[in-house]
Amino acid sequence: MSEHTPAGSSQTPANKTTAVHKKKSNVGVNIMIAFFSLVLLAGIGVLCYPTFADWWNRMHQSRAVATYVESTENLSKEKKAAMLEQAHQYNQDLLNVSDRWHLTDDQLATYNNTLDVTGTGIMGYVSIPKIKVQLPVYHGTSETVMQIAIGHLTGSSLPVGGENTHAVASGHTGLPSARLLTGLDQLEVGDNFYVTVLDEQHWYQVSEINVVLPTEMSKLDIENGKDYMTLVTCTPYGVNSHRLLVRGHAIPAPQTVDETKYDNPKTMMAITIAAIALVFILLVLLVVWLIRRRAKARARLTGVKYRKDNES
């Protein structure tokens, strides 16, 4: 007596088992592809993070500088003169403070309200042509500030120049997310840098480079009749046990304009948008590829099922 496939059934048990196995196999392959794709993307993300984070921070730094410049241009001459006079008076009063590294609450309030042009704490920006760095200078050296820019050391003179002043600006070196003062160790005696406050530029020529312990403050003292500015960062790279002090003395501004190509916010924004768009396109292409591969796998499974049905 011959056996027949039951009415309403299109596959034998053996065919069903084969189809199920193929379906499970395709699902497993798709899961593995998706998993390794995610791992690949995560790996690329980890490798690209320092570069992207630095780029992102540099873009915001350049925008902060551009915003500062625009804000100062919108101030009247009288307002700018009054702000500069207040800053010079602050520096004069600082000479009479017994412990200027530990200001009182009232002194801190006066400090934070002086030269705060944009209301964000930016008092100006430092430009270092040799290493092509231009960074906003914020009031104070809180970690929030130090992660994105450089901070003016509270207790030092405000960077408006003049006799009996010593302004100090500090920034990190070697952060994975921001370049900041990485490269400051390339400066040599005789190199120049300058600070822009309101519409004034104060130029300094490196005259002394020192490596000291974090607790050594004597190199930051105000000297009678001198106009100094010191840039501070951690050293050695990756250890950060000491501080690199690059001190400059005031010099007349050069007759030629600084033509160094610093970061431009518009250019950096355009490149950032293009990079994000490229990543988005790659992700879309990956998804499309996975969908098409899955569709082909289903088509193959359907073809096998069709042939098995005809054979049965």
Q: Of all helices (H) and strands (E), which one includes residue 23? A: helix 13-73
Give long-range contacts, CB 8 A cutoff, 24+ apart: 212-216: 212/242, 212/243, 212/245, 213/241, 213/242, 213/243, 214/242, 214/243, 216/243
Catalytic residue among 139, 234, 242, 249: 234
Evaluated on CA atoms 45, 49, 51, 56, the torsion sign reads positive
Catalytic residue among 172, 202, 242, 249: 172
Asked if 172 is an active-site residue, the reply is yes
Asked if 234 is an active-site residue, the reply is yes
Q: Of all helices (H) and strands (E), which one includes residue 268? A: helix 265-311
According to DSSP, the residues that pair with 126 across neighbouring strands are 135, 195
Task: Count Cβ neighbours within 10 Å for each residue of 139-160 and write b for 16 or more, e otherwise.
Answer: bbbeeebbebbbbbbbbbbbbb
φ and ψ of 299, to 5 deg:
-65, -40
Tell me how far apart the alpha carbons of residues 194 and 258 are, in angstroms, rounded to a whole number: 10
Which phi-psi region, left, alpha or beta, contains residue 82 (left: φ > 0; alpha: ψ -120 to 50)? alpha
* Tokens 């760095």 belong to residue: 133
Catalytic residue positions, numbered? 172, 234
